[in-house]
A and B are shown apart, each in its own frame.
Chain A
Amino acid sequence: MRNKLNNINLYKLISNRTVFLIILNILVFIIMSLISPYYFSVDTILSMTKYGVVIALISLGQSLVILGGGGGIDLSLGSNISLSGILLGILVNAGVNIWFACILTIMIGVFLGSIHGVLVAYGKLPAFAVTLGGLYTYGALAMVLTDGIPISNFPEVFSVLGQGTFLNIPNQVIFILIPIFIILNWVLNNTVFGRSVYLVGINDEAANLSGVNVEKIRTILFSISGGLGAVAAIVMTSWIMTARPNAGYGLELQAVTVAVLGGIHIFGGKGTLSGTMLSALIITNIGYGLQIANINTTWQLAILGILLLGAVLLNKLVGEE
Chain B
Amino acid sequence: MNKIISKTNKLTNKFGQRQVAIVILLILEIILFSIITDYFFTLSNFNSIISSSIDLAIVSIGMTLVILMGGIDVSIGSILGVIAIVIGKLLIMGVHPILVILAAIATGIILGGFNGILIGYAGLPAIIVTLGTMNIWRAAIFGLLGGQWISGIPSTFYFLNESILGIPINLIIIIILYSFFWYLTKYRKFGRKIYAIGNNEESARLSGINVKKTFVLVYALMGILVAFAAFTYISRMGGVEITVKRVLPLKAIAAVVIGGSSITGGRGSVLGTLLGVLFINILQNGIILLGIPSLWERAIVGVLIIIAIATDLISTSESKEGTANEE
Contacts and interface: CB of A to CB of B under 8 A. Distances in A.
Contacts of A313: 122, 124
Contacts, number: 127
Contacts of A300: 139
B39 interface: no
B87 interface: no
Contacts of B122: 313, 316
Contacts of B133: 305, 309
B302 A129 contact: no
Given A125-B313, A304-B135, A305-B139, A132 B305 contact: yes
Interface residues of A, number: 45
A65 to B, nearest CB: 13
A140 B296 contact: yes
A250 B118 CA distance: 22
A59 to B, nearest CB: 15
Nearest to B142: A298
A119 interface: yes
Most chain A CB within a 10 A radius of its CB, from B122, B125, B302 = B302
A298 B143 CA distance: 9
Given A123-B313, A140-B302, A128 B127 contact: yes
B175 interface: no
B195 to A, nearest CB: 18
B253 to A, nearest CB: 7
B263 interface: yes
Interface stretch (A141-149, A157-165, A200-208): A141-149
B131 A136 contact: no
B132 interface: yes
Interface string B258-302: 000001100000000000000000000000000001011111011
A148 B295 contact: yes
Given A141-B299, A256-B131, A266 B124 contact: yes
Interface in A263-321: 266-267, 296, 298-302, 304-306, 308-309, 312-313, 316
A141 B302 CA distance: 10
Nearest to A116: B306
B250 interface: yes
Given A144-B293, A302-B136, A133 B302 contact: yes
A253 B264 contact: no
B134 to A, nearest CB: 7
B63 interface: no
A227 B229 CA distance: 40
B128 interface: yes
**Consensus secondary structure, chain B interface:** helix
B164 interface: no
Contact of B131 (A129, A298, A302, A308): A308
Interface residues of B, number: 42
B303 interface: yes
Contacts of A136: 247, 250, 298-299, 301-302, 305
A75 B306 CA distance: 14
Contacts of A152: none
A132 B247 CA distance: 12
A249 to B, nearest CB: 10
Contacts of B264: 126
B94 interface: no
Most chain B CB within a 10 A radius of its CB, from A75, A137, A147, A316 = A137
Contacts of B299: 136-137, 140-141, 144
A123 B308 CA distance: 13
Interface string A19-60: 000000000000000000000000000000000000000000
Contacts of A309: 118, 124, 128-129, 132-133
B244 to A, nearest CB: 13
Contact of B128 (A132, A139, A266): A266
A248 interface: no
Interface string B120-156: 0011110111011111101110110001000000000
A73 B128 CA distance: 10
A147 B292 CA distance: 12
Contacts of A137: 298-299, 302-303, 306
A88 B268 CA distance: 42
B137 to A, nearest CB: 8
B310 A125 contact: yes
A306 B136 contact: yes
Nearest to A127: B127
Contacts of A306: 132, 136
Contact of A308 (B123, B132, B295, B302): B132
A133 B308 CA distance: 10
A132 B126 CA distance: 14
Contact of B135 (A132, A148, A267, A301): A301
B72 interface: yes
Most chain B CB within a 10 A radius of its CB, from A125, A256, A260 = A125
Contact of B309 (A125, A256, A305): A125
Contact of B293 (A132, A147, A296, A302): A147
23 contacts: A119-B306, A123-B310, A123-B313, A125-B313, A126-B264, A126-B309, A128-B72, A129-B309, A136-B299, A136-B301, A140-B299, A141-B299, A147-B295, A256-B131, A296-B147, A298-B138, A299-B143, A300-B139, A305-B134, A305-B136, A312-B129, A316-B122, A316-B123
Interface of A: 71, 73, 75, 119, 123-126, 128-130, 132-141, 143-144, 147-148, 250, 253, 256, 260, 266-267, 296, 298-302, 304-306, 308-309, 312-313, 316
Closest 7 CB pairs of A and B: A137-B302, A302-B139, A140-B299, A136-B302, A140-B298, A305-B135, A305-B136
